[in-house]
């Protein structure tokens, strides 16, 4: 599996005997063809360094445009090439993300109810003060 031990063995096996430099050239050609066909939003580029990250397991889930190019070139889903989606990998994680603290929302809602002439700004705990009472213009 990607990211463990010796890297992404499935991707390395799919590359078979093709040299890394040659694979990069062919993937770029496929990506640019897909861009001309309108299947990619922007022109595709790939470096040898990125290919090595895929093989070593440092990158466990390529970007969307790279996933499209890899699936087109190899004719297989990227999951079959040894890459692991972050959505599927969430079950393998040992640490969990704590839920947001509910007290922040209570403070904001209580303050808004008690002081209707104050309103929260874009970030919930910063306040901007409007003129007290009717609008200043009227």
CA neighbor of 32 nearest in space, from 54, 65, 75, 74: 65
pLDDT at res. 55: 92
- pLDDT tens digits for 76-85? 999 999 998 8
Over residues 96-114, the mean pLDDT reads 59
- Per DSSP bridges, beta strands 127-129 and 118-120 are antiparallel
Higher pLDDT, 120 or 84: 84
Same domain, 57 and 116: no
Same domain, 53 and 109: no
User: Which residues lie closer than 8 Å to 73 by C-beta, 6 or more apart?
Assistant: 26, 27, 30
pLDDT at res. 1: 45
Does the predicted model carry a pTM greater than 0.85? no
- pLDDT tens digits for 9-41? 999 998 888 999 999 999 999 999 999 999 998
Same domain, 82 and 119: no
Same domain, 64 and 103: no
- CA–CA distance, 37 with 45 (Å, rounded to integer): 16
Predicted confidence band of residue 128 (pLDDT cuts 50, 70, 90):
low
In-domain check, residue 138? no
Largest Cα–Cα distance in the chain? 78
**In this structure, what DSSP letter does residue 118 have?**
E
Burial 3-36 (b: 16+ CB within 10 A, else e): beeebbebbbebbeeeeeeebbeebbebbeebbe
In-domain check, residue 57? yes
Same domain, 117 and 86: no
List the structure tokens of 94.
């040992």
In-domain check, residue 58? yes
Same domain, 74 and 28: yes
- pLDDT tens digits for 59-73? 889 999 999 999 999
E strand spans, 33-134: 118-120, 127-129
Its domain, for residue 40, covers: 9-92
Same domain, 86 and 103: no
Same domain, 71 and 14: yes
| Domains identified in the chain, total number | 2
Least confident of 22-26, 44-48, 90-94: 90-94
Same domain, 36 and 88: yes
Q: Give the whole-number percent of the chain exceeding pLDDT 90.
A: 42
């Amino acid at each position: 599996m990607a990211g463990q031990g010796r890297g992404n063995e499935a991707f390395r096996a799919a590359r078979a005997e093709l040299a890394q430099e040659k694979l990069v050239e062919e993937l770029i050609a496929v990506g640019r063809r897909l861009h001309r066909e309108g299947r990619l939003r922007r022109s595709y580029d790939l470096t040898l360094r990125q290919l090595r990250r895929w093989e070593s397991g440092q990158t466990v889930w390529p970007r969307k445009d790279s996933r499209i190019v890899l699936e087109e070139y190899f004719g297989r889903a990227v999951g079959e090439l040894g890459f692991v989606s972050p959505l599927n990998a969430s079950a393998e994680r040992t640490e969990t993300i704590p839920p947001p603290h509910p007290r922040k929302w209570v403070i904001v809602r209580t303050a808004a109810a008690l002081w209707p002439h104050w309103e929260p700004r874009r970030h919930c705990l910063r306040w901007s003060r409007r003129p007290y009472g009717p609008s200043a213009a009227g």
